[in-house]
Chain A
Amino acid sequence: MGHEKGAALVSVLAIVVISLVLGGALQRFTAVEATQVQTEQARSQAHYVARSGMSVALSYLNTKIDQYINEANQNGVTWGSLDLPSGFKGTIEGAGRYEVDFALDGSRVRITVRGYAGAVVEVREAIAFDIDLQPTADGYVAIDAEELDWYDDPAGGTRHLKTVQRLGGPGKAGGPVLLHTKNGIQTKGDHEFCAPLLVFQTDTLTVKNDNRLLLRSNFVSFETAISIGQEHKGSVLILCVYDDNAIARPDGNYGVVYFDRVPGKNKNHMNPAIPSPGYYLFSNGTELWEEGVHGTLIPISSEYAALLLIRLLPGSSHFRPATS
């Protein structure tokens, strides 16, 4: 009988304890959820503040890069020439603050931006952007010309580019394009291709007699020998800028081009306008003939070309979370 009395009391106590535990857990869950929500918004805002800082940093960098655009000799321009501080801070009113760091590590510059936000708990989010001071065109290449159907014949031998007539207009791409073949690329009439960046990686690019190859691009990299047919037969390679992101100088818009080897009429000698491999600014509409150039080519250092690349090809797609 003594046990019966205890059982009722114990049962009530057990229910009380269980209820208190459950109720406490529920309240705790709600409190944690509230904190999480606040942190989530702060994290999201911190990310956007960091992106704001990156936008400021790249714009600032472009301003510094532009200071050299009009100089006659841009061959000696390096990252050091820009004379940037190691970093700076800023505030987006009502949103948060950011800190920008520029760090040179060998041939790479890393821009790291930390964004801070949150009224109750301050949250930090960081993003980074790397600039390779060696030519970095490959890092931007996303589309193979094969996928764009720019060739007239199957892979294997020498590839012929599709003419304007065959394409029904200029070949166009909204992103960087790689023209990569093993055995050379040749023209087969009049051609026109438009893309923000064009990279030719092949044995030889040949513009045959009576053919015209027009490239509209802000950055063209000829990692190949270029062979151009006879001038009196109208063979010509024309370089035009792609869009408003091109470099504006008082005498017009310019793009960047890299030439590897451009033999002249006598194949043992280089085209006199491009005696050695390197990067050049090209004026809009520059024509490359067998024995010279009509237009303006200004030699620039590879480091300056790499810096101009981020100006010529802006895009937030290159942002990624910082690892440190």
Chain B
Amino acid sequence: MVKDQRGVTLIETLVALFVIAILVVSFASAFSSSLISIESWGNYYEALATAQNLLERAVAGEPLGEQDGIFTKRDVQWPDDVVPVPGTVITARVNYRTRFGLKGTVELSSFVAD
């Protein structure tokens, strides 16, 4: 009885250790992956805030250019298909680092009538 009990406990312990090891490795991997994701989203939010700031300043008339991340393009809107409304599409473009070290881009655009 005693012998059997010790043998089963040893096997159980080994199995348990094996299972726990697998779990710890997977859990650590998932946790690390999530941390990287969170850092990536942090970069993303920062880029979004920067793009908003840049676009607000450009729309307000601050002279910003491509070196600042502001791109402009002439455009015409046609409300009611009758009266043309000429203006400029202003785009703020900000790059950020994604989870695998790749480059992501946040873009926000607004049309400003002349």
Contacts and interface: CB of A to CB of B under 8 A. Distances in A.
Contacts of B108: 41, 44-45, 48, 95
Q: Which one of B23, B45, B55, B110 has the highest number of Cβ atoms from chain A below 10 Å of its Cβ? A: B110
A103 interface: no
A256 interface: no
Contact of B27 (A11, A22, A60, A64): A22
Contacts of B44: 37
A5 B5 contact: yes
Interface in A24-39: 26-27, 29-30, 33-34, 37
A189 B110 CA distance: 49
Contacts of A44: 48, 51-52, 108
A60 B83 contact: yes
A19 B23 CA distance: 7
Interface string B1-28: 1000100110011011001100100110
A8 B19 CA distance: 12
Contact of A100 (B79, B112, B114): B79
A93 interface: yes
A90 B77 contact: yes
A300 interface: no
Q: Which one of B15, B80, B111 has the highest number of Cβ atoms from chain A below 10 Å of its Cβ? A: B111
A43 to B, nearest CB: 10
A12 B80 CA distance: 70
Contact of A11 (B1, B16, B37): B16
Interface in B56-114: 59, 75, 77-80, 83, 85, 87, 89, 106-114
Nearest to B15: A12
A59 B87 contact: yes
Interface residues of B, number: 45
Q: Which one of A1, A22, A40, A48 has the highest number of Cβ atoms from chain B below 10 Å of its Cβ? A: A48
Interface size on A, as a range, is 35 or more
A29 B31 CA distance: 11
Q: Which one of B23, B38, B114 has the highest number of Cβ atoms from chain A below 10 Å of its Cβ? A: B23
Interface of B is mostly: helix
A9 B15 CA distance: 10
Contacts of B34: 26-27, 29-30
Q: Which one of A52, A57, A85 has the highest number of Cβ atoms from chain B below 10 Å of its Cβ? A: A52
A94 interface: yes
B30 A8 contact: no
Interface string A47-91: 011011001111110011000000000000000000001001010
B23 A16 contact: yes
A56 B38 contact: no
A92 interface: yes
Nearest to A20: B23
A49 B110 contact: yes
A75 to B, nearest CB: 25
A23 interface: yes
B7 to A, nearest CB: 11
A262 B59 CA distance: 43
A4 B5 contact: yes
A317 B52 CA distance: 17
B41 A5 contact: no
B47 to A, nearest CB: 9
9 contacts: A1-B5, A15-B19, A26-B30, A30-B38, A44-B48, A44-B108, A45-B108, A52-B110, A100-B79
Given A33-B37, A52-B111, 14 more contacts: A4-B5, A5-B5, A16-B19, A23-B26, A23-B30, A37-B44, A41-B108, A55-B87, A55-B111, A56-B113, A59-B87, A60-B79, A63-B85, A90-B78
Interface of B: 1, 5, 8-9, 12-13, 15-16, 19-20, 23, 26-27, 30-31, 33-34, 37-38, 41, 44-45, 48, 51-52, 55, 59, 75, 77-80, 83, 85, 87, 89, 106-114
Please name the 3 residue pairs, one residue from A and one from B, whose CB atoms are nearest each other, closest first: A59-B113, A52-B111, A95-B109
